[in-house]
Amino acid sequence: MNNIASKNLLDALHWRYATKVFDAHKKISPELWDALEKTLVLTPTSYGLQPYKFLIVQDGATRDALLPHSWGQKQVVDCSQYVVFLARTEMKETDVDRFINRMVLVRGGLTEEIAGYRGAVAALATYRGMMVSDVVNGPRGKIAHEWAARQVCIALGNLMTAAAILGVDACPMEGLVPAEYDKILGLEGSGYATVVACALGYRAASDKYAGLAKVRYEAADLVRVV
């Protein structure tokens, strides 16, 4: 595997900023977008459960409807791709079983003919029980949407870092009204609710924020080694 040089990574992170003005005429290529979409899918989550969905809003009328519920931020309508991050509102045993079934399908080998079949089944049952007792019936099950929203934030960070490395601009957008987004996007009763969004595309030459120095504390102020 070819690893990106540390300097290139840091250069990309210094280059990126929360883009305020997008060039509405410049679009992300299908090849680049495919890679960014896969970045979302490959995001790590607690237990691997992936308690979220990513809604790519490309319809102009829908974006126009979302705009007044996004503090009027024009990134919503001018960006190339607009991603709305949805988190599960509750976790059920069926969610856990769906993931277990997917695990068996992807990793394969769980048939009565294989050596250690009973042990593998027992291990899966133990893992299932652990997840159910935590995110369904346990303490985190009582705050399932909040827990899922934290997983969403991991996906958002993953997407923005990948975008920077690929030279794509992004703007995370928490300045929105989730309940209104849910109505416009028809999420009532879906088991998912809006958490945050992210606009992606390319900065406009008129964006005055593009050339500003990045303001961050020194590492010594934020990082502590124990």
Read off the CATH number of the domain in which 58 is found: 3.40.109.10
User: Greater confidence, 1 or 150?
Assistant: 150
Q: Label residue 21 by pLDDT band (50, 70, 90).
A: very high
The partner residues of 192 in beta bridges, in order of sequence, read 88
Rounded Cα gap, residues 138 and 122, in angstroms = 21
**Of 10, 5, 21, 23, which Cα lies nearest the Cα of 211?**
21
Please name the amino acid found at residue 43.
Answer: T
Q: What is the mean pLDDT of residues 60-67?
A: 98
Going along 32-90, which residue ranges are E strands?
Answer: 52-57, 81-88
Q: What is the mean pLDDT of residues 7-31?
A: 98
For 223, residues 6+ apart whose C-beta sits below 8 A from its C-beta are: none
**How confident is the model at residue 178, as a pLDDT?**
98
Residue 191 in domain: yes
Range with the poorest average pLDDT among 35-39, 110-114, 146-150: 110-114
**How confident is the model at residue 116, as a pLDDT?**
52
What is the number of domains present in the chain?
A: 1
**How confident is the model at residue 115, as a pLDDT?**
47
Task: Show the domain range for 183.
Answer: 6-89+143-222
pLDDT digit string, tens, across residues 155-176: 999 999 999 999 999 999 999 9
Residue 19 in domain: yes
Q: How many Cβ atoms sit within 10 Å of the Cβ of residue 190? A: 13
pLDDT digit string, tens, across residues 82-100: 999 999 999 999 999 999 9
pLDDT of residue 16 exceeding 70, the answer is: yes
Q: By percentage, how much of the chain surpasses pLDDT 70?
A: 95
pTM of the model: 0.94
Q: How many Cβ atoms sit within 10 Å of the Cβ of residue 27? A: 14
Rounded Cα gap, residues 142 and 150, in angstroms = 14
Residue 168 in domain: yes
Residue 131 in domain: no
Residue 160 in domain: yes
Residue 175 in domain: yes
Range with the poorest average pLDDT among 25-39, 40-54, 112-126: 112-126
The partner residues of 197 in beta bridges, in order of sequence, read 84, 173
Residue 122 in domain: no
pLDDT digit string, tens, across residues 188-224: 999 999 999 999 999 999 999 999 999 999 999 999 9
Please name the amino acid found at residue 25.
Answer: H
Residue 32 in domain: yes
pLDDT of residue 113 exceeding 90, the answer is: no
